[in-house]
Structure 1
Amino acid sequence: MNKIDFAVGIGGENGQGIASTGNILALIFARRGLHLNAYNAYQSIIRGGHTFLTIRAGDGPVRNMGDKIDVFIPLNQDTMDRHLHLLKSGACAIYDKEKVTPGKAADGVQLCAMPMKELTKGNKLAVNTAALGATLELLGIESEPLETVISRQFKKKGDAVIAENLTIARAGYDYAAQNFTAFSWKAPRGAKPLGIITGNQATAMGGAAAGVKFYAAYPMSPSTGVLMWMAAHARELGIMVRQVEDEIGVMNMVIGAAHTGCRAMCATSGGGFALMTEAVGMAGMIETPIVCVDVQRAGPATGVPTKTEQGDLWQVLGAGQGDYPRIVVAPTNQLDLFHTIPELFNLCDKYQCPGLVLSDLLISEGTTSIDPDDLDFGVKIDRGELILPNGNGLPAVALAKEGNGANPGSGYNDKAYLRFKNTPSGISPRAVPGVLGHIFTAATDEHDEDGTLISDEFTNPQKRRMMVEKRARKMQGALKDIAPPKLVGPEQAEVTLVGWGSTAGVIREAVEKLAGEEGIVANQLAIKWIVPLHAAEISAILGRSKNVILIENNQSGQFARYLRSETGFDTHGHIRKYDGEPFMPHHIVEAVKEQLAGKTRLSIPVHEVNA
């Protein structure tokens, strides 16, 4: 557990600059060397409504937004009314005394009323700046970092705007120093300055590290940040980026680009992926490697575009009719997204199949601190059995090996090339268009080894069975190339908490709290690789566990059903949340306690922050 751990909550209407204010704080904390995690709960409107941004920072890893707010900045009365009652002793609320009236606060909560009109010289847009100055003073952070970030933030607006905001920031800082009581502790300094990154940025950067040269998308929250990063860096990185008319066109373009030999990628959310599924099946049939990121949001249909959920698992498992190999992965955090994308591309190239990433709003739009040294853009790239022209149309001999169905001979007879050769591994030689002697048909129909369509043949059960089994065999090899999940924590525990994807961080903290505050020894199994699944290893771990509770952000227990179907194991309890907001550590701790007490097998926590 961290020695010092604190959180700042900023709330108000959309359009009040909450995201910008949060970004300034995140930059200051990260450059101080603090670890951080930021989550913005916002509505799907441009102005109005209610938005609440939480930035949690500490001197060690911060894996989620936590349970508490230490500095509360309500920019309007609605935010004050919603959140003040949640503050605990030792916290403080910084607000405009002329616009906001506090209600009943818990004992020990410091109410920091500020004359914002006076401090900002009547500039309504600068209230946030004055509040930031006061926040840093209470946290024991010098004003200079804020001044540095403000100078950069408003650089394009000119010297006059910069000077005005610097004056207001200092006024807020000085007012807090003279009128309020700072925390008994000071925000520490880390060993080295850190950067900040969102999950969407990490996804796009992972694609760049993997060698992606074609990216297509139709803007859909919460995946649009991937498109924005790709578009901003397209020329610099030599990536062709296309905003397409719809998601059907997106997937077909990605498949077409991958068919020519380049690495191609797209990102969408559940509704967009629903339109892509037929084309995903096409990628499976013609054995073309593509990567698609599904940034899950609350569904079905339009659902709640700005809220998180883990509701797309079964949609991804069933994408496209029929049986075909696919690799499905659910990264656990932002940095994991960056590292997983290149690994997935290597697997998809090797096994010539679609790769599907299950992200979600929590980690895609959430911000975390990051050590720039952890972003390795020199990752190993493995293109598998790929046959490329060597410049004059001839095959690259290094990849065109005798016996694998390629045609490296001097005659370049197209009939000798077997694009879908039935090999023991199921992997066939993949030639791109333009390689002499390697012409084949790529179609959505079932086909023979050389690509000849068999859908019109009168009798073809043997060929059909051969091709289905050939494709399926690839998953046996893929499973060996994927690391199995490992149990984190003591082997002997009262309870094992199982999760998949983005729940890993909050479960990790819940395990620590159970042991440190409740005296309950717990461990954790975080499952990342969904298909193929290490069923035997998971069964062995869970079979040794005393109590197993599965935690996921959906209503029906989608992963619980999948786990049961693959392993036969039925967990002892479930914790599910589907109100659009992520788990907080205390949700899990309280649910585990009630289940171990025998009160229930299914806990559904209530998210009180936005009540």
Structure 2
Amino acid sequence: MRKEFNFRAGGAAGDGIASMGEILTKICSRNGLHVSSYNTYQSLIRGGHVWYSVRGAVNKVLSPGDRIDILIAIDELTVETHKNLMNPGGVIIHDGSKCKIENLPEGVTAVSIPAAEIAKSLGNPRVINTVALGAAMYFYDIPLESIMEILTDQFGYKSQEIVDINHQAAKAGYDYVKEKNFAKISNEVKLNPNIKHPVMTGSQAQGLGCIAGGLKFYSAYPMTPATPILHFLAAHAEEYDVLVKQAEDELSVINMAIGASNVGVRAACATSGGGFALMTEAVGLASMVEAGLVIFTVQRGGPSTGLPTKTEQGDLNQMLGASQGDFPRFIIAYSDVEDGFYATIEALNLADKYQVPIIMASDLAFAEHLESVKPFNFEDVKIDRSENFETKWESDSKYLRFKLTDSGISPRVIPGTPNAFYISGSDEHDEDSSNISDVVAGLPHAIEMRKKQMHKRMGKMESALKDLPAPTLEGPEDAEVTLVGWGATKDSILEARQMVEEAGITTNQLHIKYILPFHGHEVGAILRKVKHPIMVEGNYTAQMARYIRAETGFEIVDKYLQFDGEPMYPRLIVDRVKEILGRQ
């Protein structure tokens, strides 16, 4: 008997599929279920095939479902595309006047409801989706009151008339299938309306982390899939005193953020792969002037425009190679939605402490999927502006903005502070910020200062490596297989491990979060001890596996690489593990 709900709704862009998915997600989360939802859409505003998957269960859900119990099909393409993913006993809800269904898998039932006719009789043909949602409630034995409450929330901002007609539509769909006495889907899921789980996307978690972490300036140029962070912060900017600026291009975006950081403001900006390509020279500028800022880069399918509404982990090499020359910067990859909140706060603190650009890597799947989370602990959030951040300069000694220190971190003041004049430029400089690149370059004292400044700046990486936690092996040390991943593949790998272990294969997991600086010694030591490592990542060339080899000398031979733009479903990882082990 099933222990989870697996919904999917499909149709064309503009058919209200996203609204259906959001409603189904809320039904689960407000009835005591953990949930993971994924919206698959095209770059067209209208037209093209789109679908929304919702998976709910009493226990934590680690990934969107790739199997379906109830499919709401607005058109025939939805049926043909998804029917082979139906679980036995599953139901396809459709309108027989719009969809002709043939050759269904064994055990799958097609339920035709006159949704268009019902919607027309109610005076609004657009509520056919709500009619289908009402029918779906019957098959999962979900009380009709659950959807009524959420429809009120969903459409209440429009008018009471819209709310009422949607209530009528849901009830009509529910009553229609109830009167026909269709068999319900058997499952062990117990709903509990007294338990409600917060639900949010990775982008929303990042936005909350920015606000909780004391962000005061944010700049961006709209680019999928980084734009939701901009939307979130813009919506809350006035309430939390954050200046949000939509600039004319990505060059302006990052340079504005650098400027804000340089005058003492906590600053961040965001983009995706193509936009980050434009930002890269300024990443080096931020490091040279020692301006700490956070750069969110949300990966999508490349190269060029590529797959703008699909996910990928294809930009690691770009992040590692951003700008020219050697300079300190951090690269941190988000692991899950909750990490979107806490790691963002951590990044803001690190940017202030080490005075370097912090590149926060995520991807479309992380940024846009909805997931139930534990309530965040705002009371324990600490805003650490660093002991090296001075509000005034009272020392008798001359202020040295780029003072040589053992940690590589120099004292920092806000420009205009009395007795603390300095120049903030892109050229190499002396301790007091004097330019050494124009008229004294090559002279003995300038040569020595260049060496010392390079050692100082790069010393931040050595200091940070001691502060940041090294990755550890999760699971039994003597496991047969070690799955290695990075970024938002963490939960998919964890669920894949659970599925593999049901087949009698023991596993553990090594997950990389801190990419630069990199704990090469610790990672190498772990990999040399495990029995059979398998790399799991979302790109064609195994970029993380190559990076690990470069940093540790250890080559991970076997891999599961996904680059089709779709979510990394655990079942696909399981199939590859079995293939590698010869146990299919």
TM range (shorter): over 0.9
Residues 7 and 56 in structure 1, CA contact (< 8 A), matched pair in contact too = yes
Q: How many residues align?
A: 576
Matched residue, 1:176: 177
- SS of the residue corresponding to residue 93 of structure 1 reads strand
Q: Report the equivalent of 1:466.
A: 452
Q: Does structure 2 conserve the Cα–Cα contact (< 8 Å) formed by 1:3 and 1:59? A: no
Question: Which one is further off, 45-54 or 456-465?
Answer: 456-465
Q: Distance in 1 between matches of 2:379 and 2:95?
A: 46
Counterpart of 1:175 in 2: which secondary structure?
helix
Match of residue 403 from structure 1:
none
Q: Secondary structure at the match of 2:415?
A: coil
Deviation of 1:482 (Å): 1.0
Given that 2:390 and 2:411 are in contact with CA atoms closer than 8 Å, whether structure 1 keeps it comes out as no
Query: Which residue pairs with 2:288 in the alignment?
Result: 285
Q: Classify the secondary structure of the residue corresponding to 1:453.
A: coil
Aligned to 1:37: 36
Q: % of aligned pairs identical?
A: 45
For residues 251 and 563 of structure 1, the distance between their equivalents in structure 2, rounded to whole angstroms, comes to 29
State the partner residue of 2:23: 24
Q: 1:81-480 alignment to 2 at 5 Å?
A: 81-122=80-121, 123-179=124-180, 180-185=182-187, 187-189=189-191, 192-371=195-374, 373-376=375-378, 378-389=380-391, 395=392, 407-409=393-395, 416-456=398-438, 457=440, 458-459=442-443, 460-480=446-466
Counterpart of 1:552? 537
Partners of 2:243 and 2:379 in 1: how far apart?
A: 19
Equivalent residue for 2:495? 509
Paired residue type of 2:136? T
Query: Aligned partners of 2:132 and 2:570: how far apart in 1?
Result: 28
Deviation at 1:208, TM superposition (A): 0.7
How far did 1:314 drift?
0.8
- Where does residue 5 of structure 2 map in the other structure? 6
**Alignment partners' CA distance in 2, 1:219 and 1:117:** 37
By how many angstroms is 1:195 displaced? 1.7
| CA distance 1:375–1:170, shift in 2 (3 Å) | farther
| Structure 1 unmatched runs, 5+ | 390-394, 396-406, 600-611
1:98–1:116 Cα contact (<8 Å) kept: no
CA contact (8 A) 1:140 1:186 kept: no
> Once the 2 structures are TM-superposed, how far is the Cα of residue 572 of structure 1 from its aligned partner?
2.8
Runs (4+) of structure 1 moved beyond 6 Å? none
Looking at structure 2, the residues matched to 488 and 6 of structure 1 have their Cα atoms a distance apart, in angstroms, of 28
Q: Contact 1:34/1:60 (CA < 8 Å) preserved in 2?
A: yes
Aligned-residue offset at 1:157: 2.4
| RMSD between aligned residues | 1.6
Q: Distance in 2 between matches of 1:163 and 1:281?
A: 57
What's the TM-score, normalizing by structure 2?
0.96
Q: Following the alignment from structure 2 to structure 1, what is the Cα–Cα distance between the partners of residues 578 and 519?
A: 29
| Alignment partners' CA distance in 2, 1:385 and 1:218 | 33
- Per-residue deviation at 1:388? 4.3
Q: Are positions 1:589 and 2:568 aligned together?
A: no
Partner of 2:507: 522
* Cα pair distance change 1:325/1:3, threshold 3 Å: farther
Q: How far is the alpha carbon of 1:423 from its aligned partner?
A: 0.6
Cα deviation, 1:95-129, whole Å, max 9, x if unaligned, reads: 11111111211111121111113332353311110
Asked whether the 8 Å contact 1:209–1:377 carries over to 2, the reply is no
Amino acid at match of 2:199: I
**C-alpha spacing 1:88/1:192, structure 2 compared with 1 (3 Å):** closer
Q: Does 1:576 align with 2:566?
A: no
1:398 aligned residue: none
Between the aligned partners of 2:419 and 2:569, the Cα distance in structure 1 is 59
- For residue 468 of structure 2, the aligned residue among 479, 482, 486 is 482
- The answer to whether the 8 Å contact 1:496/1:525 transfers is yes
Q: Would the aligned equivalents of 2:2 and 2:189 in 1 still touch at CA under 8 Å?
A: no
Once the 2 structures are TM-superposed, how far is the Cα of residue 386 of structure 1 from its aligned partner? Answer: 4.2
* Structure 1 length-normalised TM: 0.92
Distance 2:31 2:4 in 1: 14
What is the deviation of 1:369?
Answer: 1.1
Give the match for residue 609 of structure 1: none
Maintained 8 Å contact 1:419/1:449: yes
Letter in 2 for 1:568: G
